[in-house]
């Protein structure tokens, strides 16, 4: 079972405020354990595609994390190469700043 990070509840409230219905919190899929965010995302997306192909998985990235890490060429290359959908959100304002699909 994936661990909830410190932003889990903030992201949940943001999505609910924008009209999303949270159907599984958390969504339980057995997929093994990985330590890296991108690796975990890719594996989780693969299993989700097999188990529930109608769902689309997004990586939720805090604005500060995006600005300090995800804008780097290596991170952007990995995101593009692996077709990762994500959104950037502001923790304090509990607001989505950008969707990348």
- Domain ranges for the chain: 8-100
Say yes or no to pLDDT of 82 above 60.
yes
- The pLDDT of residue 51 is above 90: yes
pTM of the model: 0.67
Please check the confidence at residue 15 and state whether its pLDDT lies above 70. Answer: yes
pLDDT band at residue 68, thresholds of 50, 70 and 90? Answer: confident
Averaged pLDDT, 6-22: 93
Topology of domain 8-100, CATH: Trna Endonuclease; Chain: A, domain 1 (3.40.1350)
Phi then psi for residue 3, to 5 deg, are -80, 145
48-54-59 Cα angle (round to 5) = 55
12 or 26, greater pLDDT: 12
Q: Which stretches within the chain are classed as H helix?
A: 8-17, 37-51, 63-65, 73-81
Position 44 confidence tier, pLDDT thresholds 50, 70, 90:
very high
- 73 pLDDT higher than 60: yes
**For residue 49, what pLDDT is reported?**
95
State how far the Cα of 89 lies from the Cα of 10, in Å rounded to an integer: 9
Q: Answer yes or no: are the C-beta atoms of 88 and 96 closer than 8 Å.
A: yes
Give the pLDDT of residue 29.
47
């Amino acid at each position: 079972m994936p661990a909830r990070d410190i932003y889990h509840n903030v992201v949940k409230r943001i999505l609910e405020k924008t009209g999303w219905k949270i159907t599984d919190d958390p969504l339980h899929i057995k997929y093994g354990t990985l330590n890296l965010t991108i690796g975990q995302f890719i594996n989780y997306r693969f299993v989700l595609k097999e188990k529930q192909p109608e769902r689309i998985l997004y990586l939720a990235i805090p604005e500060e994390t995006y600005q300090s890490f995800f804008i780097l060429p290596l991170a952007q290359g990995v995101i593009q190469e692996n077709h990762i959908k994500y959104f950037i959100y502001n923790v304090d304002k509990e607001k989505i700043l950008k969707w990348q699909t």
